[in-house]
Structure 1
Amino acid sequence: MLNKNPPIKVAILDDHPLIRKALHYSLEYELDLNLVGMYKNRQEITSALQNGEIDLLVLDYLLAEEDFDGLQLVKHFRLHYPKLKILVSSAIESPAVVNQVIKAGVMGFVGKSKEQEELIAAIRKVASGKRYLSTDMQHELDMFNEPDADMYPYIAPSVRPGGKDIEILVRELTPREMEVIRCYLAGLNITQIAEKFNRSRKTISGQKQGALRKLGMKSDVELFRYQDLIIGL
């Protein structure tokens, strides 16, 4: 029986040419999926979004330096294009990141370690209005959102010593300090962040240490205690 429904209009936003090409080859034989565009940054995709040419966006969580970080990009698209369905595809397969993008309105997440067949299945499910997470990621997310009772004494309070709310302190960070901290919390090391933003390791390390000073923190352990709060801002 022929499918009488119009094809789902899919777009890809990813700054890696090889990823875009691989997704193009995977989607071109799927008759119910119409790849309407492949873009490397937010500026390129804007006109297509404004014209309503896209039903579903496959979004890379970490784009190039000139673009928003993944969470801010999701919030931007949800604000300006509320009907757009978003599926995040990322090499950063962290439950903290997945938790925040789902809260921000993303309908699905597929790690880049997964097979293309899983991504295509996820596209179809999200396009139908249902949420998609792999079984293992759903399990990790459940564990992330239900910490063991023994860990409760170690969960960070929202107020730092001295009476300042962590949200206020985070807003004192420069945009570059914030993007470094977000990437670090998302699982990238200093070298990877330096390569992503085309900066030196010394510059990235300095920006990270500057951010820690502003936040009143002395160690990575302390920073990761606030991971959920910081990524969500």
Structure 2
Amino acid sequence: MKQDTWQVAVLDDHPLISKAIQYRLSQEADLALAGSFSQRQQLMAFLRSNSVDVLVLDYLLGEDELDGLQMVKQLRVQYPQLKILVSSSVEKPAIVKLLLKAGVHGFVGKSQDQEVLIKALYEVCRNKHFLSAEMLLEMDKFEENDREMHDYLLPRELGDDIALLLRELSPRELEVIRCYLDGLSVTQIAGKYARSRKTISGQKQTALRKLGLRSDLELFKYKEHFSGLAVHL
């Protein structure tokens, strides 16, 4: 007997990406676009009265939206039967590991060809998990190198999620963030370590990006997690 058409919803605040996914799904007889949304509230309202098999979820939405990890956790509580496939330009193994731990069924980087997304959708619809060969390799490397950051962190004093992401940061990035949270400005940190303001600013922004944070306000929410850092430059 032929499988019924799988219903796919998309939450992505980039209209061109949503349109591209919609066009590609129209070419698949077994996949149908149930709805495409740019805001979390729109999706949640839709899910209350419509059946969806798989959600393609962008990890980074607008500034006023929940981050991808919190969104996944909320969806897993409210809609435990919903399968979630995360699509993101943030292709970091630490973040993928956190997402898998939170209950997603797959991850596709936005650098991947759209055919990879279609393949992932079929795998997830069939109750399988999907990671690209490239991401599996990156995650293997991440696991191998995971011990290196233990020289700089006190894992028992950190929350599991932020501790895992902190291991993506270099020692210099960690120190810049620690100093910033201690109240030093970018200019003061540059003077302290005899580096240019541009270098310090760049390291700070790179650290924020690796942590999946969009603003200083979000960074300060995690201030307590940095108090146990022992960094040696």
TM-score normalized with structure 2 length: 0.71
| Contact 2:154/2:228, CA 8 A, preserved across alignment | no
Choose from 17, 33, 36 the match for 1:35.
33
Q: In the alignment, is residue 167 of structure 1 matched against residue 176 of structure 2? A: no
Q: In the alignment, is residue 18 of structure 1 matched against residue 16 of structure 2? A: yes
Q: In the alignment, is residue 185 of structure 1 matched against residue 185 of structure 2? A: no
Deviations 1:14-61 (A, max 9, x none): 011111011111111111001010001111011321224211000000
Where does residue 72 of structure 1 map in the other structure?
70
Where does residue 82 of structure 1 map in the other structure?
80
Deviations 1:74-114 (A, max 9, x none): 00000110000000000000001100000100010000001
Q: Percent identity?
A: 41
**CA RMSD across the alignment:** 3.1
Q: In the alignment, is residue 156 of structure 1 matched against residue 148 of structure 2? A: no
What is the rounded CA distance, in whole Å, between the counterparts of 1:105 and 1:208 in structure 2? 23
| Contact 2:208/2:219, CA 8 A, preserved across alignment | no
What is the rounded CA distance, in whole Å, between the counterparts of 1:11 and 1:144 in structure 2? 31
What is the rounded CA distance, in whole Å, between the counterparts of 1:212 and 1:83 in structure 2? 31
What is the aligned length?
189
What is the rounded CA distance, in whole Å, between the counterparts of 2:91 and 2:149 in structure 1? 24
Choose from 55, 58, 82 the match for 1:57.
55
What is the rounded CA distance, in whole Å, between the counterparts of 1:50 and 1:208 in structure 2? 30
| Contact 1:48/1:54, CA 8 A, preserved across alignment | no
Query: Taking structure 1 as reference, are residues 211 and 127 closer, same or farther at Cα in structure 2, changes over 3 Å only?
Result: same
What is the rounded CA distance, in whole Å, between the counterparts of 1:101 and 1:137 in structure 2? 13
| Secondary structure of the corresponding residue to residue 147 of structure 1 | helix
Shift of 1:212: 7.1
What is the rounded CA distance, in whole Å, between the counterparts of 2:139 and 2:131 in structure 1? 9
Shift of 1:158: 2.6
Where does residue 43 of structure 2 map in the other structure?
45
What is the rounded CA distance, in whole Å, between the counterparts of 2:143 and 2:209 in structure 1? 20
Aligned residue identity for 2:155: S
Structure 1 portions without partners, runs of 5+: 160-164, 171-176, 194-203, 223-233
| Contact 1:58/1:87, CA 8 A, preserved across alignment | yes
| Contact 1:181/1:208, CA 8 A, preserved across alignment | no
TM-score normalized with structure 1 length: 0.71
